[in-house]
Every structure is written in C-alpha cells, then in structure tokens.
Chain A
C-alpha cells in the first residue's frame, strides 16, 4: 500500500467510526438545555425591559402628581382638600395662608409627605417594583456594568470576540460576580476572561485593592498564592521544589471572585503563573487559588 492509499484507508476508517446510539439523545438534551437557557435569557431581558418601562411610567406619574398646578398646589393637596370639602378659590388669598401654614410645597421633601398626605399606598399604587423585581433590576444592572467593563478591556487589548460566554459565579445579598469569557478566531485562537465583582448596594465593580486595601493584605495573598503554586509544582514534578520558580504578581486589579463558600479565589492568567500546571488550570491557561478566609481581615 503506498502513501496515498494509506491516506484513503485512514479517511475510510474515519468515516466508519461507529457513533454510539446515545449520541442522538445527548445532542437533543444539549439542544433542549441550550433552548431553555436562551429562553431564560430572553425572559430576563424582557422582564428587565418591562420593569424599566414601568419604572419610567411610575416616575412620570409621580412627577405629574408632584408638579404644582396653576393654583400653586400640588395634586395631592388638591385632592386632599377636595375630599375635606376645603378647596379654595385659586384667587383666594387664604389659600396662600393655608399653604404657608402647611409649609411651601417647594420646600418639602418630595415623595413621602405628599404621598402620605393623599393617603395613597405607594405599593398599591404601583410605585414600588417590589423586592423580587428590584433584585432582578439590580442583577440586570450588574450584568450590564460587567459587560461594559469587559468591552473596555477587550478594546484595550484590541480583541475582536467571535464568541462571548458568561456565567454568574456569585449572587448573594452583597455580591454579584459575573465571569465573562471571549474567544477570538483568527490565525491563532485567543481567549480572554474577565471577573467582575459588583457590590449590589452601589452597583459598582470592586477591585481587589478596594476590598483588601493596604500592602499588607495584598502581600498575604501573594504569599499564599506563591505557597500554593510551589505545592502544585511539587505535586507535578515530584519533589523537585528546589528550583521552583513561583513568583506571582498580585496586582491591585487582580482577577478574583468569591466561591460558594464565600472564600476569596484569585485567578491568574497563564503568563502570571508560568511553569505551574495544575488540575485547576483550564484550557486558556487560567489558574485559580483559593485563599483561606482566616488569612484575611
């Protein structure tokens, strides 16, 4: 058999590779799972959009309610007075006296007093979005914030993504962490990843330095990462730790997130942890190091 015939044989073997019967079900399951996820994403976007519209409408209604009319009275006062049978002629100077006695509408804190005066229940009136809806809005805002940061990072690195994937790593009372991963096609595949830890109260991305400010804390983290790197090198190369070169650089903007047990996880890119192979290294060469909570303030 010559070389070309061998090649044809190889092609035949490839095409005759038996495909397990379960492959069809596996793909079908994946399609169903993907469709469900996509539908969930659409629902989130719809809910986010719908709540956004509701919030805007509520704001407009509230403004209409609070803007003083020609009579100088806000709508709440007019309604209240009408109900009490005390509506005054707009031209009546008494109105101003009463108004002065109550305090000028413009001087009052907007919202609470006026709504309370009318006796309207803000929840019943639809002014509050409710706790669940607020949370959804917060998460939606966090996602938007994280994606904006990621887009900035991609632009800085001149990265043109062909595939972007994201995953919520943490979502507790305080933190929302989104991991975003982008792949760039071209002569050589590149992948970049961003971890964005967002404080839900401020909806701002919090850096490692902001969280554990101070050189001492960062050096504690650096030493712990260094220790774990050496440990992994030892596991990979037997006992040859004498030559271990594990000098991580933990920057103030180092990638991190909190895992399900609320421990700090430091994420290093391939060039930040050279010569360290570990089971936690993923395809793009990212490595993770869990920092015990006891080491941190």
Chain B
C-alpha cells in the first residue's frame, strides 16, 4: 500500500515536474534555485507519501509541498532575493508590462500564490483553496482583493464574495 502511494506520487512528479519548476522559478527567478526547490519538494513528497490520506488530493498536496518549499526558500534568502528582484525589475524597465510584473512580485506570499496557482497554473479556485489551506469563500474574497490591488477586471466570478 505504502509503495503504491510512492508510485502514485512519483508518477505525478514525473508528469508535472515542468509545472513545479515554473512555479518555483516564478518565486526565485533563478534556474539553479528553482531546481533545488523542485528537488527538495519531490524528495519530501516521496518520503511522506505514506502520510497522504486521500489519494484524490495527491496533486494539490504536491503543489502545496512545492509552494511551501518555494516560500520557505524566499523567506530564508529574503535579503538576496529582494536584491535580485530589484535588479531584474530595473533591467526590464523597457518592457511595457513592467508595472504589472512588479506589482505581482510585490504581492505577499499568499496573494502571489493565489495568482500563480489560479491564473498561471490554471487550477480551479477550489483546488487553489485546497493548496493554500483556505476555505473556498476565503480564497474567493482574497482573490478578489488581489485582483483589485492589481487593478485587474477579469470577470464577475471573482466579485461574487
């Protein structure tokens, strides 16, 4: 049974590693750091596969682990990370989307996670809420607040709460 869970998690990791890499990269903007995050996240997911209660949630569970790894990495290296972000933002001053990019990068960890998971990774709001350990209505209202902060109008579904 335990090996079955490891197989399941291993399969999901191999099928989706590109997504996890992009997720990590969006936080750290460094190839090597993103690879380190994915590697550590994959290791932890396999090691703790036995603790996964409901296999139905395996995908969101792995997302959560990867997200935790990325956020922890950023917290741990906050000083360096801020400098890199400022540098990369300065270099991209000529891009038209620099303001929005800056605004997304300036969001706090949970706000950024909402944007990345729901819009970039295309998870449903329910899945996003599960990954972040929020209930659905909280996730919706926070998403609405983040979109307002970014001055984005993306449909009525985010304005329902």
Contacts and interface: CB of A to CB of B under 8 A. Distances in A.
Interface of A: 1, 3-4, 6-7, 9-11, 14-15, 17, 19-20, 22-24, 26-31, 33-35, 37-38, 42, 162-165, 183, 185-187, 189, 277, 281-284
Contacts of B10: 31, 35
A185 B71 CA distance: 13
B81 interface: no
A192 to B, nearest CB: 14
B141 to A, nearest CB: 12
B134 A163 contact: no
Contact of B50 (A10, A26, A38, A163): A38
Contact of A38 (B49, B64, B79, B99): B49
B22 A34 contact: no
B97 to A, nearest CB: 4
B152 to A, nearest CB: 6
Secondary structure of the A contact surface, majority rule: helix
Interface of B: 2, 6, 10, 13-14, 17-18, 20-22, 25-26, 31, 35, 38-51, 64-65, 68, 71-73, 75-76, 79, 96-97, 99-101, 104, 116, 119-120, 132-134, 138, 150-154
A204 B77 CA distance: 37
B72 A283 contact: yes
A24 B18 CA distance: 8
27 contacts: A1-B97, A3-B100, A3-B151, A4-B153, A9-B97, A10-B100, A10-B101, A14-B26, A14-B120, A23-B17, A23-B35, A23-B38, A24-B14, A26-B17, A26-B38, A27-B13, A27-B38, A27-B42, A30-B41, A30-B42, A30-B43, A31-B42, A31-B46, A34-B44, A38-B50, A164-B48, A187-B133
Contacts of B31: 20
Contacts of A38: 2, 6, 46-47, 49-50
Contacts of B104: 10
Contact of B68 (A4, A10, A37, A189): A189
A3 B35 CA distance: 31
Contacts of A37: 43, 46-47
Nearest to A24: B17
Nearest to A1: B96
A252 B104 CA distance: 46
B21, B49, B51: which has the most chain A beta carbons within 10 Å? B21
B160 to A, nearest CB: 19
Q: A-B pairs with the 8 shortest C-beta distances?
A: A34-B46, A185-B133, A30-B42, A283-B72, A30-B43, A27-B17, A6-B97, A14-B120
B63 to A, nearest CB: 12
